[in-house]
Structure formats: structure tokens, C-alpha cells
Structure 1
């Protein structure tokens, strides 16, 4: 479904991604793990059109995204839940969700999808008239995910969904990611909590300073001594 081929990305003179290549197949959960500054968020921003590669290509269902802008990429079926949630704080929960469907014209289906989001995240239904900025961190994360789901993505990309959340909420968020995937959405996940990410993913890639240094079946990487030492605290 998605493939990055020898992608190089720069921030001015800083070489952030150094020839990255990886694939995401339809129906999978694929996770990118690595320490801070490894290039994980840069990778996601490049896929969603917020950054453009200087060299190499990003392909989604055989279309080259390398120079396509972000709104067009959303319309093609990729939705990005950014690090730090980025919800619209002065708008209500339901208005935030409506904005997720901004590019859609199918009013009845939008209504049905709103209902689906409220079923996935019952807390949002309770808070639907509340200003998004007054929600707790966990509720804001649910809203950011719900808003992304409202665009009916074929590929959902998530950047650090567990950041700053209590362990119980982290578990809940990861169960919902699995549920979204089981309902037919492919997921690419960037996550600091490597153990949690590897436990739900099919495959994983390990990034270090802008390069992929390890890849493989997520369960195998969970058992790998190298990964345990570097990312799982053991």
C-alpha cells in the first residue's frame, strides 16, 4: 500500500532521513521505533506531505506522493494524527470531528461515521458539546484519533499516541488502534513505548539517526536482545 524508496529529507543543512526504505502492506499495523531524534516524526511528515524528500520517492498505491501537498494526500486516503494531538482547542468536540470530514461530501455517511467514532470513544459522546481545550490529555488523544477516522482513511498514521498518558489509558488507546485496524484500516505507528507498539504490530522497523538499522516481525523484535537492551529497558 505504501512504500518509501531511498528517501532523503533535510531541515536546512541537517540531513534528517538518510536513504530510508520501507513498506506497509494493506491491512497491517507497522510500527517505527527508535529514540528521540531518530527521524520517526520526520518520516510521518514526509508521508503526509508536510515535508518533501530531496531524493527518493514516497508511493501510495502506486502514486508518487513526493511533491503532492498535504490536503491532496488526505483526499487520497492518508490521515495523520500528529504528535501533541493538535486539536482545535476553542471548538467543541463535535466541531473538531466535523472538521475531520472537511473534504467529504457524503453527508449521510459522515453522520454514520460520527456515530462510529462515538461508539469507539464513548467519552467523546459524553463530552461532544464541550470545548476541546478543556478535555484531559487522554480525551484529547481520543479526539485527535476520532477526527482522523472521520476522513475515512485507508492508511492511518499515528505519531506518539501514548505520550503523556497514564498506563491505563495507554492500554485503552492501543486496544482502540487494534480495533480500528481490525475494521479495515491499515496503520503506521510511531511510538516511544516500544514494548506496547511491538505487542500490537505485525512488523516493525528500528530507526537510528535517520537510518533503518533493524526490521522484521514485531514479535521477533520484541524478543531480540538488541531491541531489549536499547528500547525495552532490559
Structure 2
């Protein structure tokens, strides 16, 4: 579904991502793990069209998308829940969900999907008329994911979904990621919490200083002593 081939991304003269390649197959959960500053968020922002690579190719669902405007990439079926949630704080939960569907005009389908999001995240139903800025951190993260899903993506990009959350909410978020995949959406998740990410992913890539250091089945990487020492605290 996604084939990223040899992309390099620069901020000025500084290379944030160097000759990076990764693949995501339909129906998978793939995770990109690494320390802070490794280039994980830059990679997702480039895939979703917010940044342009200096070199390399990105093919999504059979179409080259590098350099394509971000809203056109969303229209093709790729949506991102960004790092830091980026919800619209002065708008209600319902209005934030509506904005996730801004490229759609199927009112019945939008209403059905909003109901599906409220079933997936029952806390949002309780807060539906509340201003998003008054939600807790965990609730804001749920809203950010639900808003991205309102675009009905084939591929969902999640950038640091567990950032700043209590352990019990981290478990809720990652259990929900599994349910999202079970409902038919492919997922690429960037995450500093390597233990949580590797527990739900099928495959993983380890990013270090802008380059892929290791890749393989998530279960194998979870049991790799080098990975355990560097990312899992043991």
C-alpha cells in the first residue's frame, strides 16, 4: 500500500532523513521507533505531503505522491493524526470531527462515521458538545485519532499517539489501534514508547539519526537484546 524509496529530507542544509526506505502492506500495523530527534515525525510529515523530500519516491496505493499537496493526498485515502494532537481547542468535539470529513460531501456516511467514532471512543460521546480545549490529554488524543478517521483513510498515520499520557491511557490507545486495523484500516505509527508500539505492530523499523538501522518482525525486534537495551530499558 505504501512504498517509500530512498527519501532524503532537509531543513536548510541539515539532513533530517537520509536515504530512508520503508514499506507498508495492506492490513498491517507497522511502527517506526527511535529516540527523540531521530527523524520519525519528519518521515510522517513527508509521507503526508507537509514536507517535500529532496530526493526519493513515495508511492501510495499505486500512485506517486511526493510533492503532491497534502489535501490531495488525504483525498487519495491517507490521513494523519499529528504529533501534539493539534485539535481545534475553541471548537466542540463534534465540530472537530466534522472537520476531519471536510473533503467529503456524503452527509449520511459522515453521520454514520461520527457514530462509529463515538462507539470507538465512548468518552467522546460524553464530551460531544464540549470545547475540545477543555478535554484531558487522553481525550484530546482520542479526538485527534477520531478526526483523522473521519476522512475514511485506507492508511492512517499516527504520530506519537501515547505522548504525555498516563500508562493506563497508553494501553487504551494501543488497544484502539488494534481495533482500527481489525475494522479494515492499515496503520503506520511513529512512537517513542517502543514497548507499546512493538506489542501491537506486525513489523517495525528502527530509525537512528535519520536512517533505518534495523527492520523486521515486531516480535523479533522486541526480543532483540540490542533493541531491549537501547529502547526498552533492559
Report what 1:58 is aligned to.
Answer: 58
Q: Could you list the per-position Cα deviations for residues 37-90 of structure 1 after superposition, in whole angstroms to 9, with x for gaps in the alignment?
A: 110000000000000111011110121111101100110100100000000000
Tell me the residue number matched to 1:3: 3
Residue of structure 2 in register with 1:168 after alignment: 168
Structure 1, unaligned stretches of length 5 or more? none
2:137 aligned residue: 137
What does residue 22 of structure 1 align with? 22
Partner residue in 2 for 1:86? 86
Q: Secondary structure at the match of 1:190?
A: strand
TM-score by length of 2: 0.99
Q: Per the alignment, in what secondary structure is the counterpart of residue 43 of structure 1?
A: helix
**1:79-158 mapped onto 2 (5 Å cutoff):** 79-158=79-158
2-structure distance, mates of 1:105, 1:50: 24
Q: For residue 12 of structure 2, what is the aligned residue in structure 1?
A: 12
Deviations 1:115-167 (A, max 9, x none): 00000001100100000000000000000011001000000000000000011
Residue in 2 that maps onto 1:213: 213
The residue number in structure 2 matching 1:196 is: 196
The residue matched to 1:38 in structure 2 has which SS?
A: coil
SS in 2 for 1:133: helix
Which runs of 4 or more aligned residues in structure 1 lie more than 2 Å from their structure 2 counterparts after TM superposition?
none
In 1, Cα distance between equivalents of 2:185 and 2:61: 14
RMSD of equivalent CA atoms: 0.5
Q: Distance in 2 between matches of 1:203 and 1:45?
A: 20
Write the distance in 2 (CA, Å) between the matches of 1:33 and 1:46: 16
Aligned to 2:128, the other structure's residue is in SS state coil
Aligned to 1:88, the other structure's residue is in SS state: coil
CA separation in 1, counterparts of 2:39 and 2:78?
Answer: 20
Unaligned runs of 5+ in 2: none
How many corresponding residue pairs?
234
Question: Paired residue for 1:182?
Answer: 182
DSSP 3-state at the match of 1:205: strand
